[in-house]
Amino acid sequence: MCGIVGYTGCCQAAPILLEGLTRLEYRGYDSAGIAVRDEGAPRIEVVKAKGRLKNLMEMTDSGRAVRGCCGVGHTRWATHGEPSTVNAHPHDSKDKRVVLVHNGIIENHQEIREALQRKGYVFKSQTDTEAACLLLDSYYAESMGGDLSPRERALDAIHRLMIRVRGSYALGILFGDQPGVLYAARKDSPLIVGCCSEEMHGHMIASDVPAVLGFTRNVVYIGNDEIACLTRDERHIYNIDCEEIEKPVTEIQWDAAAAEKDGYEHFMMKEIHEQPRAVRDTLSPRIKEEEEKRFIDLSETGLTDEDLAGISRVYMVGCGSAYHAACVGRVVLEQLAHVPCEVDLASEFRYRDPILEERGLVIFISQSGETADTLAALRLCRECGVRTLAVVNVVGSSIAREADAVMYTWAGPEISVATTKAYSTQLCALYLIAVKLASARGQIDEARQAQLIEDMLALPDKIERVLSDKERVQWFANKMAACKDVFFIGRGLDYAISLEGSLKLKEISYIHSEAYAAGELKHGTISLIEDGVLVVGVATQPALFEKVVSNMTEARSRGAYLFGLTTYGQYAIEDTVNFTVYVPRTDPLFATSLAVVPLQLLAYYISCAKGLDVDKPRNLAKSVTVE
């Protein structure tokens, strides 16, 4: 989604803004712009361009042509109004008295627009953001000539804006008559302040950590309904009533290199290869040993064994791949812990008036921790008083902060829009919860627990083995790059992984694909199978192996070309399929962690073979902060 960067300090702002925006490119965008204030100039300069950042770079000679030490920048992912220069941010009021960038959505923009038009304001764009910009301008103008200081006037106008608008926002604001001062405010859309190092001397704002990492690791997380006022030397944070508050500075533990490609052609490939490390980092700190017995320690969640034993039902909620991880989690949890589990898409959960049991536990799964639907579902549960647990990757994100408890997945920064390592760590977090719940409820004995833990700890090496065979998948992907339709089929956990395999393929290769429970094929979908259609059959579950293979045979009889994905030892599959990939054996409950890797690779290599933008697929955004 959209990205915000701002800077005020002793260096030239434009190159810093462009560098920061480059770090946010992965979030997805279709236009970009910067606004910079040169102390000597009569007004703020705004430059915007449709399309990629390189257009803006060319227009500004990589920022050198825009002078000044204070500014804001933005990459826009269109919501209200088409992608165009005029709809791009920053937006500005007459004479650039107010210049503003915005992430999120102003829900009551139409009503604000009409009220402002009645007062004589003229709108240039179709965006909701311009309504916020001009409204702020009107409040700022109203306080002219009084005895408030410039900062008090700005704070008062921002405060009034925050009360008047509905929706979500992170704002970066410049006032034309306050050179060198950068304001920011937020509600339900992430925003941080970066405290720059000695040589850069100053402050930054950004919608995501990677934007500031090249300049500082010290950040302040701006909370909901908070306002920041920043200059080269000063940093003040206020609550919505404009009372100054203290906020801690947090040191980001990962560095800029973690957000670099590290020699890989794409972030996605780098992140696929980071999975053994990410899985290990997520599992190991939670597996403890005492008197030669291993056990799972989830004390970070505050859930005691007694709490776990008392849970009557588990609900899992997420979007996209996080939802697919929940589909896997449900099977593992129900089989091990014998607790009923419901899985919901966050966007559906909210509107179905869910019946939540008092002793229920709702698990929210999210890489970014900012997905609007998941966050709204979490808030709904909190209102109902049911216990909530967040499984989140981004430290300090909204979902992590608002849930009763959080279990971080230690995937590290994920840049590619298509998730890989974050999904894999979500699976691990859910395995840990399932095994812990099963043991707290006496559903598994010590020997079974020990075996499950051993199998989990062996996953990183086994993922490594799957990766070592990637050229085989590449060869197949090159052969299939021109196909038009792909079906992924499986049963049980293999159906859950089919959902993820199909999403990976369609989002980055733009090939139409569907995932079906293998047994459902003949209830309608099989009519779509004809010569040359690729069917990927996933058959890692021994108990269901023969049934999936027989469903694949049905597809082959209608002309399908078959890719079989199974575990070593299940060689009988070769009698049916055209091409096979084997993954190492593990407890069948954890096979998804291995089977997902060839499916990620298949999508990746097909996207590369088609010459597509693997890391930034069209129309998609990394963090979906709108409903």
Annotated active-site positions, please? 2, 622
**Residues with Cβ < 8 Å from 40, sequence gap 6 or more?**
none
Q: How far is the CB of 33 from ligand F6R (least distance, A)?
A: 25
Of 1 and 205, which has the nearer Cβ to ligand F6R?
Answer: 1
Is 615 a binder of ligand F6R (CB under 6 A)?
A: no
Among 576, 607, 623, 625, binds ligand F6R (CB under 6 A): 623
Of 228 and 418, which has the nearer Cβ to ligand F6R?
Answer: 418
The answer to whether the CB of 223 falls within 8 A of the CB of 193 is no
Q: How far is the CB of 52 from ligand F6R (least distance, A)?
A: 21
Amino acid type, 507: E
Task: Considering only the stretches 170-178, 366-374, 453-461, 471-479, report the one whose residues sit in contact with ligand F6R under the rule CB under 6 A.
Answer: 366-374
Among 53, 608, 624, 626, binds ligand F6R (CB under 6 A): 624
- Among residues 541, 566, 540, 539, the alpha carbon closest in space to that of 551 is found at 539
- Among residues 609, 539, 596, the alpha carbon closest in space to that of 570 is found at 539
Pairing of strands 534-539, 512-517: unpaired
Q: How far is the CB of 174 from ligand F6R (least distance, A)?
A: 30
Q: How far is the CB of 320 from ligand F6R (least distance, A)?
A: 2
Is 489 a binder of ligand F6R (CB under 6 A)?
A: no
Q: How far is the CB of 350 from ligand F6R (least distance, A)?
A: 14
**Residues with Cβ < 8 Å from 42, sequence gap 6 or more?**
none
Site residues for ligand F6R, 311-350, by CB under 6 A, read 319-322
User: Three-state DSSP class for 154?
Assistant: helix
Strand order in the sheet with 485-490: 512-517, 485-490, 534-539, 561-567, 579-583
Phi first, then psi, for residue 600 (nearest 5°) are -65, -45
Strand order in the sheet with 250-251: 45-50, 31-37, 70-76, 3-9, 202-206, 192-195, 218-221, 250-251
Q: How far is the CB of 370 from ligand F6R (least distance, A)?
A: 7
**Distance (Å, rounded) from C-alpha 367 to C-alpha 346?**
14
Task: Considering only the stretches 22-30, 261-269, 334-342, 362-370, report the one whose residues sit in contact with ligand F6R under the rule CB under 6 A.
Answer: 362-370
Of 47 and 603, which has the nearer Cβ to ligand F6R?
Answer: 603
Q: Which two tokens stand for residue 6?
A: 């701002």
Amino acid type, 580: T
Of 46 and 268, which has the nearer Cβ to ligand F6R?
Answer: 268
Binding residue count for ligand F6R, defined by CB under 6 A: 15
Residue nearest to ligand F6R (CB): 320
**Distance (Å, rounded) from C-alpha 48 to C-alpha 340?**
53
Site residues for ligand F6R, 491-510, by CB under 6 A, read 503, 507
The answer to whether the CB of 575 falls within 8 A of the CB of 604 is no
Task: Considering only the stretches 45-53, 365-373, 531-539, 599-607, report the one whose residues sit in contact with ligand F6R under the rule CB under 6 A.
Answer: 365-373
Q: How far is the CB of 419 from ligand F6R (least distance, A)?
A: 4
- Look-up of token digits 């597809």: 555
Phi first, then psi, for residue 288 (nearest 5°) are -115, 165
Of 204 and 411, which has the nearer Cβ to ligand F6R?
Answer: 411
Count of H-run helices and E-run strands, the chain: 20, 27
Of 73 and 190, which has the nearer Cβ to ligand F6R?
Answer: 190
Among 129, 231, 366, 566, binds ligand F6R (CB under 6 A): 366
Looking at the DSSP assignment, which residues form a beta bridge with residue 102?
171
Of 93 and 623, which has the nearer Cβ to ligand F6R?
Answer: 623
Site residues for ligand F6R, 414-443, by CB under 6 A, read 418-419
Here's the x/- map for ligand F6R, 260-299, by CB under 6 A: it reads as: ----------------------------------------
Site residues for ligand F6R, 162-191, by CB under 6 A, read none
The answer to whether the CB of 587 falls within 8 A of the CB of 559 is no
Report the Cα 427 to chain-centroid distance in Å: 16
The answer to whether the CB of 375 falls within 8 A of the CB of 189 is no
The answer to whether the CB of 221 falls within 8 A of the CB of 245 is no
**Distance (Å, rounded) from C-alpha 136 to C-alpha 124?**
16
Q: How far is the CB of 501 from ligand F6R (least distance, A)?
A: 11
Site residues for ligand F6R, 507-526, by CB under 6 A, read 507
**Distance (Å, rounded) from C-alpha 556 to C-alpha 535?**
9
In this structure, what is the dihedral angle of CA atoms 505, 509, 512, 515, given to the nearest 10 degrees? 0
Q: Which two tokens stand for residue 362?
A: 């709702």
In this structure, what is the dihedral angle of CA atoms 404, 408, 412, 414, given to the nearest 10 degrees? -60
Q: How far is the CB of 435 from ligand F6R (least distance, A)?
A: 23
Of 319 and 496, which has the nearer Cβ to ligand F6R?
Answer: 319
Q: Which two tokens stand for residue 481?
A: 């790059």
Is 368 a binder of ligand F6R (CB under 6 A)?
A: yes
Of 278 and 418, which has the nearer Cβ to ligand F6R?
Answer: 418
Is 374 a binder of ligand F6R (CB under 6 A)?
A: yes
Of 345 and 562, which has the nearer Cβ to ligand F6R?
Answer: 345
Site residues for ligand F6R, 17-56, by CB under 6 A, read none
Q: How far is the CB of 508 from ligand F6R (least distance, A)?
A: 8
**Distance (Å, rounded) from C-alpha 265 to C-alpha 611?**
12
Q: How far is the CB of 392 from ligand F6R (least distance, A)?
A: 8
Is 577 a binder of ligand F6R (CB under 6 A)?
A: no
Measure Cα distances from 6 to 102, 322, 361, 611 in Å: 12, 31, 40, 34
Of 231 and 371, which has the nearer Cβ to ligand F6R?
Answer: 371
Residues interacting with ligand F6R, by CB under 6 A? 319-322, 366-368, 371, 374, 418-419, 503, 507, 623-624
